[in-house]
């Protein structure tokens, strides 16, 4: 939780919280596990009315933030959604909307953004590839020129919300360099294969591109100039992932502390045992640290700080490493009930692990941080 919120931001947070409690309590999340999409499109449109889709989109393109700092606003929503292991394509749709707002031609933006903003359409970012880190050097999906068109070939996996999306933002490489294309999910040549997944409501797919033809007007931003776009999108995703993880972990820690007060053993509350108290003290330290670095990363990316790329990777490395462990410790504090289907603990663990494993896991982030430190060292 950011400790320095404006009244408008507090309102956004409270409104989001109330709406989530009223519409998608954990019983509803469990019920959605049987739903193919994992969320109700009508519900998502109501969320869009609260601002969930517009915060990263420029006002001139129909969007608008609450505080003038859209990413900080959206991180609050992500945190609340983490606390409720909420359904909905929050990260997938917003990261695409951000890039369309910043980089798309007027024609493309006016064609696609209104639907994303109203929640009537959904977008997904196709970036991860099997067996590769997310980095410009490792991208293999090929974009080849053919007359006035481009032909896309390759595989993306896993794609968050790819099975529900109307629009796919595809990051590709080729002789023109790193480029991005906006492709309708109905395009011929797309093979969309649903994957079984850990999260009850967040769906992932594999998407094969077999000579998928797109017009030149599908290029988002500058052809061959997507290096910075990729970095900006990644930074946004990492911030939202961290926010969602700390939102989930904060909730789990809260009810686990309460459990330690309520539950007795040998005639005493669990909370009275030093062996457990010390573990709770460690958990409190990790939680506060995770929140602190998430806030720092959010602000750094929001402000376009020179060290934003480093801070956001540090945040992901720490938060995604520490918080799943923290939740596992909370499961340990619960004993047997903690590893049952009926207890809600696993819903939270699923969500934080999904975030941990996607868009660069902690090991990948530590590697990037070391390389950045090395580069910074050389420059000095």
Partner 1 sequence: MTVTTAASRGPAEDLGTFQARAKEWVAGNLVPLDGADPFLGHATDDADQVVRAKVIQRKLFDAGFAGLCYPVEYGGRGLRAEYQDAFIGVSYGYELPRLFNMPTFTIILPTILDFGTEEQKKRFIPAALKGEELWVQFLSEPTGGSDLAGALTRADRRGDEFVLNGSKIWSTYAWKSDYALCVARTNWDVPKHKGLSVLIVKVHQPGITITQIKHVDGTDEFCQEFFDDVAVPADQVLGQVDDGWNVASRLLLHEREAMSGSSVYAMAPRTAAHENDQVSAAALAQDSGGATDPRVRQLIGEARVLTRVHAALVGRIATSIRTGRLPAAAGSIPRLSNGMMRVRLASIALEIAGDRAIAWNDDDPTGDLGVAYLGRQGPCIGGGTTEITRNIISERVLGMPREHAEDLDRPFRDVRTNAAVPRHRR
Q: Which residues bind partner 1 (CB under 8 A)?
A: 3-4, 257, 260-261, 269, 271-272, 274, 277-278, 280-282, 284-285, 288-289, 291-293, 295-296, 310-311, 314-315, 317-318, 363, 365-371, 373-374, 377
Please state the closest distance from residue 324 (CB atom) to partner 1, in A.
16
Nearer to partner 1, 81 or 300 (CB): 300
In angstroms, rounded to a whole number, what is the distance separating the alpha carbons of residues 86 and 348? Answer: 10
Contact 362, 321 (CB under 8 A): yes
Nearer to partner 1, 59 or 374 (CB): 374
Nearer to partner 1, 4 or 106 (CB): 4
Please state the closest distance from residue 299 (CB atom) to partner 1, in A.
10
Extract the tokens encoding 363: 């090991």
Please state the closest distance from residue 280 (CB atom) to partner 1, in A.
5
Nearer to partner 1, 55 or 320 (CB): 320
Nearer to partner 1, 161 or 368 (CB): 368
Q: How many CA atoms lie within 13 A of 203 on its CB side?
A: 22
Nearer to partner 1, 149 or 282 (CB): 282
Please state the closest distance from residue 365 (CB atom) to partner 1, in A.
7
Residue 34, judged by CB atoms within 10 A of its CB (0-12, 13-18, 19+), counts as: exposed
* DSSP conformation letters of 209-221: EEEEEEEGGGEES
Please state the closest distance from residue 278 (CB atom) to partner 1, in A.
4
> Which residue matches tokens 């067996």?
131
Q: What is the DSSP letter of 105?
A: -
Beta strands in the chain (DSSP E): 123-126, 142-146, 149-160, 167-172, 179-184, 190-194, 204-215, 219-220, 264-265, 268-269
Please state the closest distance from residue 326 (CB atom) to partner 1, in A.
14
Those residues with Cβ within 8 angstroms of residue 139's Cβ, 6 or more apart along the chain or in another chain: 129, 132, 171, 172, 173, 178
Nearer to partner 1, 336 or 377 (CB): 377
Please state the closest distance from residue 25 (CB atom) to partner 1, in A.
27
Those residues with Cβ within 8 angstroms of residue 143's Cβ, 6 or more apart along the chain or in another chain: 150, 151, 152, 172, 173, 174, 176, 179, 181
Please state the closest distance from residue 367 (CB atom) to partner 1, in A.
5
- Provide the 3-class DSSP secondary structure of residue 182: strand
Neighbours of 18 (CB within 10 A): 12
Nearer to partner 1, 113 or 317 (CB): 317
Q: How many CA atoms lie within 13 A of 183 on its CB side?
A: 31
């Amino acid at each position: 939780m950011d400790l320095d919120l404006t009244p408008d931001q507090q309102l956004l947070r409270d409104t989001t919280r109330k709406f989530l409690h009223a519409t998608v309590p954990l019983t509803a999340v469990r019920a959605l596990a049987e739903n193919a999409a994992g969320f109700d499109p009508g519900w998502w449109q109501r969320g869009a009315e609260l601002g969930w889709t517009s915060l990263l989109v420029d006002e001139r393109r129909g969007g608008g933030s609450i505080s003038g700092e859209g990413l900080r606003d959206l991180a609050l929503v992500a945190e609340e959604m983490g606390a409720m292991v909420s359904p909905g394509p929050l990260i997938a749709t917003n990261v695409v909307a951000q890039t369309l707002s910043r980089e798309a031609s007027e024609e493309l933006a006016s064609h696609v953004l209104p639907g994303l903003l109203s929640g009537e359409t959904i977008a997904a970012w196709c970036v991860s590839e099997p067996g590769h880190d997310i980095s410009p050097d490792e991208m293999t999906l090929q974009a080849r020129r053919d007359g006035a068109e481009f032909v896309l070939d390759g595989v993306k996996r896993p794609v968050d919300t790819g099975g529900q999306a109307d629009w796919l933002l595809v990051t590709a490489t080729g002789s023109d360099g790193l480029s991005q294309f906006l492709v309708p999910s109905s395009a011929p040549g797309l093979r969309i294969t649903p994957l079984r997944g850990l999260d009850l409501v967040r769906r992932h797919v594999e998407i094969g591109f077999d000579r998928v033809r797109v017009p030149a007007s599908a290029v988002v931003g500058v052809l061959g100039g997507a290096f910075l776009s990729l970095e900006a999108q990644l930074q946004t995703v990492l911030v939202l992932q961290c926010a969602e993880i700390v939102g989930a972990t904060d909730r789990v820690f809260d009810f686990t502390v309460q459990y330690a007060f309520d539950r007795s053993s040998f005639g005493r509350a669990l909370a009275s045992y030093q062996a457990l108290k010390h573990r709770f003290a460690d958990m409190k330290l990790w939680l506060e640290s995770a929140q602190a670095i998430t806030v720092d990363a959010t602000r750094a990316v929001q402000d376009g700080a020179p060290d934003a790329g480093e801070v956001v990777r540090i945040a992901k490395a720490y938060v995604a490493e520490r918080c799943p462990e923290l939740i596992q410790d909370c499961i340990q504090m619960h004993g047997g009930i903690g590893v049952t289907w009926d207890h809600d603990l696993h819903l939270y663990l699923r969500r934080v692990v999904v975030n941990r494993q996607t868009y660069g896991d902690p090991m990948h982030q530590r590697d990037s941080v070391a390389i950045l430190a090395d580069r910074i060292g050389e420059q000095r």
